[in-house]
Amino acid sequence: MKKLMLMAILFAGILVFPKTTLAQNGNFQWAIQAGGNGFDKATAICRDAAGNLILTGYFQNTATFGSTDLTSAGFRDVFIAKYDANGNFVWAQQAGGFDEDEGFGIAADGAGNITVTGYFKNTATFGDTSLTSTGSSDIFIVRYDGDGNLLWARQAGGSFFDQGNGIATDGNGNTLVTGKFSGNAAFGDTTIISLQFNTFVAKYDANGNFMWAEKAGGQPADFGSGISGDADGSSVATGYFQGIGDFGGIGMTSAGSGDIFIAKYDATGAVGWARQFGGTDLDQGFCIARDDAGDTFVSGFFAGTATFGDTAFTSIGKDVFVAKMDTDGNVLWAANGGGAGIDEGYGIVADGSGGAIVTGLFQGTATFGSNVLNSNGQDDIFIAKIGGSVTAIGSPEPQIRTFELAQNFPNPFNPVTQIRFSVTSSGPVQLTI
């Protein structure tokens, strides 16, 4: 059966999904497709400063992107494709070799350069550079300019399976990448060691020069799945860990078969704080984003009963969670959504107003706040907007208090709004609502 990637935009082109998406007023904006007669999958997307959309993933056989046909050299090849803010095709590139090569993370810096990570097996070609894996698969970190020309390509890994999952850039154009590795894995002149699968976080400068790499986690296994950079060079990573985990000297023990971790690294790779969420079942963090205030949003899934700061949720199957944390790692709020099936959050972006937009999959009937969704097939895509729990004094617009697919205007109380303020000196204060 012919399989095609269908791509569309939500809210000025922030997200891409295999379904048509909606404008803020609910009208369809645009939808395009790409692919061919093989198995083609888009795994990640980013937006540059000009509003262009760049996505990565993998394809088989011949895949069509706009006016460009790409033919895989092997079983699967990496693709990088760029579209403008209106969905018009700009360019597409491929990378890989005769084996299996997949892209999993993509990021754009302020100059419009594009950095991609994933894994490759055996020999893979990126532009005019060929890389050969040390083990069964190696991590690739490659950067292209805004026109799709390769700037540099780097690899990392060892004699076993290594994979890049999440990538980000900071305010200086440096690249931050996370994923998983096993055995002895070399990053530049640094070798980190794992008995099974462990998380790595690594940093490269704007020219691809290695800066540092840190191992995180413990035994028996864990991996990093998402990372977000900030203007000051710091980063926050998420994923999951099992058993006893070590994050820069901060020890954590999972309550169940796997817990969510969130760890903040400064510009030099030192861990500032690390937090865990979860319960007695399997819980995973998949995606992470930061807003202009430096607060962190994280999403993924949990099963059974899981605790996020002071908030506990109980699911029937697997439920989506979204948690917001301040710059010190304190949980500001947490929310959940889903139903009796498998419901997972895979992508999240800050909305610029203290909230976030999250996407993922759901099965059957899933509830997000007051919104009830019913899947048409086994798995469907959800897109939900969620706001903060604090309404600022003098805020010109109400904020959304829980998962919403439309704003709960004009009443921001849903069901409770917390109002927080401070005064410069002691004295009476009058608050009128």
Query: How confident is the model over 221-258, as pLDDT tens digits?
Result: 899 999 999 999 999 999 999 999 999 999 999 998 99
Cα gap 315→10, rounded to integer Å: 28
Residue 17 or 135, more confident: 135
Residues 317 and 329: beta-carbon distance below 8 Å:
no
The mean pLDDT value for 119-136 works out to 97
Tally of domains within the chain: 1
- 394: CB partners within 8 A, 6+ apart: none
Digit-coded pLDDT (tens) for 10-24: 322 233 333 344 444
The region of weakest confidence among 29-33, 279-283, 327-331 is 29-33
Domain extent at residue 131: 1-158
Q: What is the pTM of this model?
A: 0.82
Digit-coded pLDDT (tens) for 298-349: 999 999 999 999 999 999 999 999 999 999 999 999 999 999 999 999 888 8
* pLDDT range class, residue 351, cuts 50, 70, 90: confident
Residue 9 or 46, more confident: 46
H-run or E-run covering 162: none
- 5: CB partners within 8 A, 6+ apart: 18, 33, 34, 35, 40, 41, 42, 57
Percent of the chain with pLDDT over 90: 64
428 within domain boundaries: no
Asked if the bond preceding 18 is cis, omega within 30° of 0, the reply is no
DSSP string, 244-281: EEEETTEEEE-SSSBEEEEEEE-TTS-EEEEEEEEESS
The mean pLDDT value for 184-205 works out to 94
Count of other CB atoms within 10 angstroms of residue 310: 8
pLDDT value at position 375?
A: 84
320 within domain boundaries: no
Q: Where are the beta strands (DSSP E) in 355-427?
A: 356-362, 365-368, 371-374, 380-386, 390-391, 418-419
235 within domain boundaries: no
Digit-coded pLDDT (tens) for 359-405: 888 899 999 888 888 888 778 878 888 876 533 333 333 343 344 44
Count of other CB atoms within 10 angstroms of residue 416: 7
Digit-coded pLDDT (tens) for 408-430: 333 344 444 444 444 444 555 55
pLDDT value at position 28?
A: 52
pLDDT value at position 428?
A: 55
pLDDT value at position 206?
A: 97
Residues 319 and 338: beta-carbon distance below 8 Å:
yes
Average pLDDT score, the chain: 84
Question: Which of 315, 318, 321 lies closest to 342 in space, CA to CA?
Answer: 318
Strands 62-65 and 296-308: unpaired
The mean pLDDT value for 127-144 works out to 97
Cα gap 135→258, rounded to integer Å: 27
Percent of the chain with pLDDT over 70: 83
The DSSP symbol for 137 reads: B
The mean pLDDT value for 275-279 works out to 96
pLDDT at 105 over 60: yes
Cα gap 12→172, rounded to integer Å: 25
114 within domain boundaries: yes
pLDDT value at position 86?
A: 87
